[in-house]
Chain A
Amino acid sequence: KQEVTQIPAALSVPEGENLVLNCSFTDSAIYNLQWFRQDPGKGLTSLLLIQSSQREQTSGRLNASLDKSSGRSTLYIAASQPGDSATYLCAPRPGTGANNLFFGTGTRLTVIP
């Protein structure tokens, strides 16, 4: 069964800093990987989806990379803002074609004004 680990569990940075969130997964046979943000008590907002054949995917200040063979993905956030404060979750989808996502416990990011 796929196990997903996200490090660090919590991160606090001053506004304007660039930062990297890490995600590792035990089964490298994935179809794609999705990054989400979750605000307290709220649903999940999709940020980026990176296909297994891709190395990087960018959206605005966010850049996700994928190293499938080593079971790692990173989410880079440039010029962080207080509005980026949330929990960030990564979720790989199995390479078998099944639609279920496996989630990590997330990284709780606080951006200090």
Chain B
Amino acid sequence: EPEVTQTPSHQVTQMGQEVILRCVPISNHLYFYWYRQILGQKVEFLVSFYNNEISEKSEIFDDQFSVERPDGSNFTLKIRSTKLEDSAMYFCASSVSSTQYFGPGTRLTVL
């Protein structure tokens, strides 16, 4: 069964560094999403992407964040200058219609 995959599974970085989190959505899906979950808290929506542009974004998704679909298979989330509070599990998801399918997540630790 097709799955959303994410790399790396765990990323450790120093505060102020740039990180890129990578996702390979399910191949025939058209909508792509990033969510995050701070330890012990709710899963929160960051951004959705359709037809090569952002369709919705939350107030969390500020100028430090950007998304890109650099080729036909990858979908990336870049954080330009990481802060301690960016430490979280980041989930990529994709959908072709209503049901969103989530990847296993990347745990980002900012030191």
Of B33, B41, B43, B99, the contact of A46 (CB 8 Å cutoff): B99
Q: Which chain A residue has the least Cβ–Cβ distance from B55?
A: A99
Contact B45 A46 (CB under 8 A): no
Most chain B beta-carbon contacts within 10 A, residue among A32, A42, A43, A91: A43
Q: Do A46 and B101 form a contact, CB below 8 Å, given A98-B56, A99-B33?
A: yes
Report how far A102 CA is from B35 CA in the complex, Å: 10
Q: Which residues of A in the span 48-106 have a Cβ within 8 Å of any Cβ on B?
A: 49, 51, 89, 91, 93, 98-105
Size of the B side of the interface (Cβ < 8 Å), in residues, is 25
Contact residues in A for B76 (Cβ distance below 8 Å): none
Q: Which chain A residue has the least Cβ–Cβ distance from B41?
A: A105
Least Cβ–Cβ distance between B71 and chain A, in angstroms = 22
Least Cβ–Cβ distance between B77 and chain A, in angstroms = 15
Q: Do A44 and B102 form a contact, CB below 8 Å, given A99-B33, A100-B45?
A: yes
For chain A, the bracket of interface size reads: 20 to 34
Q: Which residues of B pack against A, CB within 8 Å?
A: 4, 31, 33, 35, 41-45, 48, 50, 55-56, 58, 91, 93, 95, 98-105
Q: Which residues of A pack against B, CB within 8 Å?
A: 4, 31-32, 34, 36, 42-46, 49, 51, 89, 91, 93, 98-105
| A49-B99, A101-B43 known, 8 other contacts, Cβ within 8 Å | A43-B102, A99-B31, A99-B56, A100-B45, A101-B35, A103-B43, A105-B41, A105-B42
